[in-house]
Chains A and B, each alone.
Chain A
Amino acid sequence: EAQVTQNPRYLITVTGKKLTVTCSQNMNHEYMSWYRQDPGLGLRQIYYSMNVEVTDKGDVPEGYKVSRKEKRNFPLILESPSPNQTSLYFCASRGLAGGTNEQFFGPGTRLTVL
């Protein structure tokens, strides 16, 4: 089954404790992206990657890092989480062939930073 998986699905942590949210897709997609979703602010892009070893900032990259060492994986790293990073996070992927913008989203990771 074609899918994007994220782990963990729920995480409660404390300020300053480094964490990583994993994202993996099995569709051989070139493009992967991280979004955060907050009430009243909609979906905002954090980082994206066009292919292996190619990453770029989205609209709200501060406080986050990413890496793309393999095509299927795109982890989101919070080196020193703060309470304002409490949010619902989504990973997404799409293939670049065909020119459509059909993106596949993961199930989400709900992060709470105390």
Chain B
Amino acid sequence: DAKTTQPPSMDCAEGRAANLPCNHSTISGNEYVYWYRQIHSQGPQYIIHGLKNNETNEMASLIITEDRKSSTLILPHATLRDTAVYYCIAIAGGTSYGKLTFGQGTILTVHP
């Protein structure tokens, strides 16, 4: 799986958009970008994933650059409950059983 790099921490005001960057410059063609988050020692929670097109679901949007070397997770209207550690990982899709290896992630703090 390709190595990913994220800033260790970010702040965001409640109600504003939170934009979390991730660098994955060595990503290979069959690897997807996945985002998970973990709220204070709870079980990690899946957010979104994508291959090369931008994706949106009820939780967030994922913007992947055309060269696929980086991506941004966007929480459009952050709330206090979005305070968590956010993990970006690159992992092969398809039939891979998908061991998840989380790095240190980005600690997002949403403040009032």
Contact = CB atoms under 8 A, between A and B. Distances in A.
Interface in A58-95: 58-59, 88, 90, 92, 94
Contacts of B98: 31, 94, 101, 103
B44 A100 contact: no
A108 B49 contact: no
Among A42, A94, A96, A106, the most chain B Cβ lie within 10 Å of the Cβ of A42
A88 B46 contact: no
A58 B99 contact: yes
A43 B94 contact: no
Q: How large is the interface on B (under 10, 10 to 19, 20 to 34, 35 or more residues)?
A: 20 to 34
7 smallest A-B Cβ distances: which pairs? A105-B43, A101-B98, A43-B102, A102-B46, A42-B102, A45-B99, A105-B44
Interface of B: 32, 34, 41-46, 49, 91, 93-104
10 contacts: A33-B99, A43-B100, A45-B101, A90-B44, A99-B93, A101-B91, A101-B93, A103-B98, A105-B45, A108-B43
